Every structure is written in C-alpha cells, then in structure tokens.
Structure 1
C-alpha cells in the first residue's frame, strides 16, 4: 500500500486550513454585511404607524410628516441664526477655541419650547429597522424641520429602549438612556431597570440610547473617559478627540444642542468626552448626554447644513434625527 509523503500530507493540511479560514472569513463577511450594511425594514411607513397609535396631528406638519402646516399655525420669523414662533425659540451660534492643530469649532443651538412634544424624532426614509440610513438634512426636509440634529443611530444596534413621539418601537434595555417627558423635563435613566411601556405610562415622549451621560445635577460624571458604548463589530471605544453631538438640559423645555466638528487639522480637532462635558456645563446645562458622533455629527437649520462634518462639508447617513418642525 502506498503512503503519502510527509510533505504532501503537510501541504494538504495547510490547504485544508486555508480553505477553512477562507470559508470562515467569507461567512463572517456575509454575516457582517447582513447585520451592519443590508437594510432590514420592520415598519415601512412610520408616519402611518405613529398616526394610527396616537391619533394626533403634529404641530407644523400633517399626519404624513410631509411638513404641511395647519391653518392655525403661527407666522414664524426666521433669520440666518434665529427662529421664533409660538412653538419654539431657536438661536444658533458658532464657537471657535484654540489655534493651529488645537483649534476646536462647535455649534450651539439654544432652544426654548412652549410644549415638550414640539421636539420630535424622525427615522431615515420614514422606516424603522436596522441599517436604514439617510442624511440628516434629507430627513429634516422630509419632515418640514426648521432645526435638526442627528440622533442615536438606533439602527446600528439591536438593543436599547426606543420610544419615539410617544410610540414604542423597541424594548431591550441595555445601557444608560435619556428620556424626554411630555411635561418638559428630561432625565438620564437605567434602561435595564424599567420597560418601554412603563416609561410611556409615566409620560415619556422620546428616548435616546447611546451615551454616556456627561452631566448629572450640574456635575461632570465620573469615568466618562473610559466608557465604551458598544463592544460589537466595528464599534468599540468612543474616546479621544472626536466629532461629537450632545444634548444639554438647562431647565424644563429649555435645551442646548451642541455639534462639535473634528478630525480636520487646523479647522477643528474634535473633543474628548470630558471636554464635551465641560462645554455643556459652561452652557448652563445641569444634565447632558452624548449622542452618536464622528461623521454622523450634523446640525441643520432652515434647510442648510450648519456644521462642516469631518471638514469635508458632506454628511454621512444616519438612522434618525431629533427635530423641530418649521
């Protein structure tokens, strides 16, 4: 009986191992594409879905979210940096600090609402699910928004409590969330200690699930420089100097929204989470919360992109926004 030469056996073993590795890598790539790239639509018409559950018409829009104002809508006054209506007062400002490679540029929207429900959420392509994206400015235009920022990119992850405009979409508590109540107050909460239905029953209008909390009771939260929001594929640390988006609470119905540009040498380096917390504290916020950042960080006002994402002036698609209808 003939015997294979040891080198032949070794070569076959190497080839078999390489083939197995290729199959594993291919399988992993297919899984990653399916999980993080390919659209998975669960609700194709969010506007109709929310209208059926709330039975209300949004101030400044019709029930389809197209931005058609009702006859009773007030006449808003808009300038390059301000907006005044019976529903909201918005003031946009630009701040630049430092010089050279240490330059930081950020944008602040000081917002006062007459009713907490004027601040709404909208999903990319008016659809709910995983990996559905659209530029912030396009989502804003779809919903007749005079002001918008990117949200928490809920569609990247399968956990977190998602309540939008009083409607529950997901109830998978996993991290520290932010809850907006219909009475105007906003608070950081532990998603794992409650349920979406309990939150809605308590008056929660919108939730965000990203974090971490930056300020609580006016003080910078300890340990934010070590936080990892997720540990899944492609998203680990959120540390270092980065573009950022954050929300701060000055008082009931008085909010500050901040978008920091970054990763652009000589224009804006970005900021660390402790530096972001300091910005929010300096603006008078007592509670502040970090949202999705990087290329997603965008602010839109009166149909125009306010900031300069990554110094390139182009947006990266995101899954959701917070907005105020014009």
Structure 2
C-alpha cells in the first residue's frame, strides 16, 4: 500500500469557507469550551497529507486515452465517453429536476478523484468547479465530503488515506465495477491489495442486485451536530453501475419550489433502478450537490445557481 506524504508543517488554522451550517453551529452549541471544540472539530482546517497528487503519481500510471472531444454536453475519446441529460417532472410544490451523467469507461482509472486544495484532511474545502478546473476535468461530481468526518475508509486513485471503518461504503474495483461493502469487515490495505481504485464513505447504499434496498429511509450516516440525518426531501447526489465500465451519476436539485423541491431516499433509489442500475450509492447531497461539465455548473444548487465548498470530487479528465 502506497504511503502518501504526511505534512510536517503545522495545520492551517484558517476558518473554513463553507462556514459550517451557515455559521450557526457555534451558536447552537453554546459558548466557551464547547464552542472551541466545535470550531476545532468542524471548522478549523486540519491538513494531514499535502500535495496528494504526488502520491498518486508515484503509486501508479493512470490511463488517459487520447485527447477527448466535447460536443454539447457529451465527451468522448477513443476509449471512453460520457453524456449528460436533464430530466424533470411535476410542477410547483412537486417539481423535480435531475441530471444524469452516463459514463462508459475503458478502465476504472478513467474515473479519478481529487481533494480540495490537493490536500487530504478535515474541513479543507473548495468549490467543485474550482477543483475541476485545477485537475483539467471535463466532468466532475461532488464526492462524499469525507473531510466532515474523521472515520471511514478513504482510498482515492489507488492510495489509502484513511482506515477507520465505520459504515457501509462503496468501492470501485480494477474492473470498473462498483460494489457495496461493510467497512468494518475489511481494511484499506486489503482493499488496495485487491485492486480497489476508489472508495466513498457516505451512503447509504441505495440499490443492490437491481433492487431498492429496504430501510434506507431510516439510515443515519452521521450523528454529528447539525448532520444527524439525511432523510426527508433533499437535493441528492449518487452514483451507480449498470454493468462494469458503465456507470451513471445522478444530481437531483432541491429546496426550490417551482423548479425542484428535492427527493426522498427511496425515490432516489428508484431513479437508479429506472436507469438500469444494479448497484447505487448515496453521496453527499443537500447544498453540496454539484455537477460540472466543460467548466460550467450543470445543475442549479438550491435554485440559486451557486456552489458550496466541499472536500472532494470525482471526475473525468479532459
């Protein structure tokens, strides 16, 4: 397992640009020591690995294919392709708008990931479009916002950065297949040894064996203050697999009456089943939901057309 470079410099102590939960966390938790703990845990940046891309470059030679071609909201090179479609239903208080990216990958390594500011750690954020630009991405999707928590298994571009199994994760294998797995029943080193290229730790899993997973309306990903539940009608981001090498990513806008109010977890899973997905997984949603193509934001987060900083993206290089 490749060991990434651990920064020997003191952690940066700037305030996160996300201004966690609209700046309301400290007020909600009170003053004094509790506020100091909350700021340290959820706002102050704690970089652990700087220049993460150098660790990826040292670990493997990624496949790039030929220079791709962009036509409308489609991209292709000689080996891989992607296309984006917009969908809508209902009106007024039941309006729903979502975007589907259909990805056909020649190999797992075509689907890359990047960290905000090229740094692994807690509370380090950047706008998805900025991360996309910095990595020459033709397409990007917000990831699992791993930096909001300090647990989970985090493997990105074949390198293990965190090994603290806590929940149901999603793994992208060397054959460009997605599978749900129990983080607590394995280790990051074993996953890398088996050829896992990416993992995401958010959830829950939405679809398995082509069927909506029962009980997903009751799953709680985190019990952190302000992020106790992911349930209800929300903007959502997810990724699924139709077959190895053929993936679909979905961004559902929400919290905007007349445009898109959002979607519940089971209905979100049903979208993936309708696309033919055999496996699907919920990524970070809410105001983080963002899809970028050719330098522009595809969706309309919260109906305001502005992005929110997050800690990571998954992307396809131009």
What TM-score do the two structures reach when normalised by structure 2?
Answer: 0.89
Q: Deviations for 1:241-268, whole angstroms, at most 9, x for unmatched residues?
A: 1000000100001000000000001110
- The equivalences for 1:117-136 within 5 A come to 117-136=109-128
Q: Secondary structure at the match of 2:56?
A: helix
1:156 maps to which of 148, 151, 158? 148
1:25 deviates by 2.8
Among 38, 45, 52, the residue aligned to 2:44: 38
Work out whether 1:299 is the aligned partner of 2:291.
Answer: yes
Distance 1:184 1:128 in 2: 24
- Please report how far the alpha carbon of residue 217 of structure 1 lies from its aligned counterpart in structure 2 after TM superposition: 0.3
Report how far residue 55 of structure 1 moved.
Answer: 4.6
Tell me the residue number matched to 2:78: 86
Cα deviation, residue 116, structure 1: 1.1
8 Å contact kept, 2:178–2:240 = no
- In structure 1, what is the Cα distance between the partners aligned to 2:76 and 2:53? 26
1:312 matched residue in structure 2: 304
CA distance in 2, matches of 1:88, 1:105: 27
SS at match of 1:199: helix
1:48 aligns with 2:54: yes
Count of equivalent residues:
290
For structure 2, list consecutive stretches of 5 or more residues without a partner in the other structure.
1-28
Deviation at 1:24, TM superposition (A): 7.2
Q: Is the CA contact (8 Å cut-off) linking 1:212 and 1:289 kept in structure 2?
A: yes
Q: Distance in 2 between matches of 1:75 and 1:260?
A: 30
1:1-326 aligned within 5 A: 25-52=31-58, 54-56=59-61, 58-60=62-64, 74-326=66-318
Q: Is the 8 A contact 1:87 1:118 kept in 2?
A: no
Contact 1:41 1:130 in 2 (8 A): yes
Q: Is the 8 A contact 1:59 1:325 kept in 2?
A: no
Question: 1:103: Cα distance to partner?
Answer: 0.3
Q: Say if 2:204 and 2:216, in contact at 8 Å, map to a contact too.
A: yes
> Partners in 2 of 1:126 and 1:158 — Cα distance?
18
Cα deviation for residue 86 of structure 1 reads 2.1
Which digits, 9 at most, give the CA deviation of each residue in 1:191-225, with x for residues without a partner?
Answer: 00000011111110000000000000011101001
Question: Could you tell me how far 1:50 is from its partner in structure 2?
Answer: 2.2
Larger radius of gyration: 1
- Runs of at least 5 residues in structure 1 that lack an aligned partner in the other structure: 1-22, 61-72
Return the offset for 1:51: 2.2
Match of 1:66 in 2: none
Name the CA distance, whole Å, in 2 between partners of 1:75 and 1:172: 38
Alpha carbon RMSD of aligned pairs, Å?
1.3
Residue matched to 2:20 = none
| 1:26-76 per-position Cα deviation (integer Å, ceiling 9, x unaligned) | 111111111101110111111112223x152x344xxxxxxxxxxxx5242
SS of the equivalent of 1:25 reads: coil
